[in-house]
Structure 1
Amino acid sequence: MRDLTDTVAVVTGAASGLGAASARALAQRGARVAALDFNIEGAAALAAEIGGGAYGVDVASAQSGEAAFERLVAELGKPAILVHCAGIAPGRKILGKSGVMALEEFERGIAVNLTGSFNMLRLAAKHMAENEPDPDGQRGVIIVTASVAAFEGQIGQATYAASKGGVVGLVLPAARELAAHGIRVMGIAPGIFETPMLTSMPEEVQKGLFASVPFPHRLGRPEEYADLVLSIVGNQMLNGTVVRLDGALRMQPR
């Protein structure tokens, strides 16, 4: 893994979970990390810990995203790495006991998870394209976060699976287009990981979730996601694909 000293890395969803682990790993390699999150207090705490900058953002908003990138570029410099972890995990049946799902719920999931991914990707690419290329012509690396639900969405995950399926579909065409600018685009599709959303569930629920993970027979750790981020950043032949990080998990309907 190459040294990242003075490389600017943008991490969204940096206040906790996968984003926080990625921000710490990149900072340990020497990167100047811009921690972006809707939760600005959490982002500020993480930034203080790793010596980076904190920026509040609504990833689904063009205005908010543009303002955040304008500030971070002015303060830290143009990014060469984007790790986009921000997202939500809505869960509701299309037609359940309480009636039909409100269209607004579906639209919100798509806005945050899919539109938000594109919004951060486009803004990062804009600035990366202005970087000086390295000896291989690379100017930047973009990593977006999908989910195994994109492939095996469970009952109650129609919104989440559709939004993450869109993220999967975004990776290859974006990589093909941005290749002309020396920018790689990759996706990671995590399985069941120890994140605040999951660890807040009762212990018996957690055990039920990872019972179907073949090996290792446990929840994934955010640090393992961050390890893959570092591997992608360091290996220029990784481009245009989505890597499953799931311990061979294939989710069942329920």
Structure 2
Amino acid sequence: ALQKGYDRIVAVGGDGTLNEVVNGLFTDEGEVINSSAGLLLIPVGTGSDFARMFDIDSSLGCVLKLMSLKEAKKCDVIRASFYGHNGQKALRYYINIADVGIGSETCARVNRGSKRLGGFWSFLLAALYTIITYHNRQLTVVIDDKEIYQGPSCLVAAGNGRFFGGGMKIAPEARVDDGVLDVVIVKDFTKLELFANMAKVYRGAHLQHPKVELGRGTRVNIKTAEKAYLELDGEPVGYGNTELQVLPAAIKIMF
């Protein structure tokens, strides 16, 4: 459709569907197929966390308003290089959140389930169970060639958007058009500390915790000493040792 000159692409689904559509906007060589095309999202998925950032829902009124928009706004996209489930080097793009650690294992658990409880409860219950079974990994985080953390961590999230996990505001200050990633490092939390601070994550009030660090940059490298799951936009795609690169204003979205 893009190669035929269509200038509006509508994605109907959740964050996983949006991720597939975003990847379809690029050629195998990493070029945007049609830079003038605008992407419109109608969120009907389990989490729909990217849409949450812009107060977009699937109501008729909201859909009609989106369809009537004439201009799209520029949005950053992130190129991710990582190891896939088959152990081979892989490359994909994402638009919302990349996460190594407990968040990605939670996503994997949700995707294996029925999701019949809806986004909030499906992710919350999966997160509670994952906290019980998860053990922190040794990670190294490098931002723009500067090492900012090395040590045990339960989660590193690199946010272009703000929300993940069915409404958790993991990167509350992130913007999709500022050309940088907000990298939230949740360090060596105990299980009790994770349970005690979960409500703060939903409010975006966790950044003040002494075991949480925020960094920003255009290039992020997350190295893992042992296998740790990686998710992009709510989809488990492989494992850590991940390189992320911001592509500023790469696409246009309607919101």
Category of TM-score, reference length = shorter chain: under 0.3
More helix per residue: 1 or 2? 1
More strand per residue: 1 or 2? 2
Q: Which structure ranks higher in relative contact order (CA pairs < 8 Å, sequence separation ≥ 6)?
A: 2
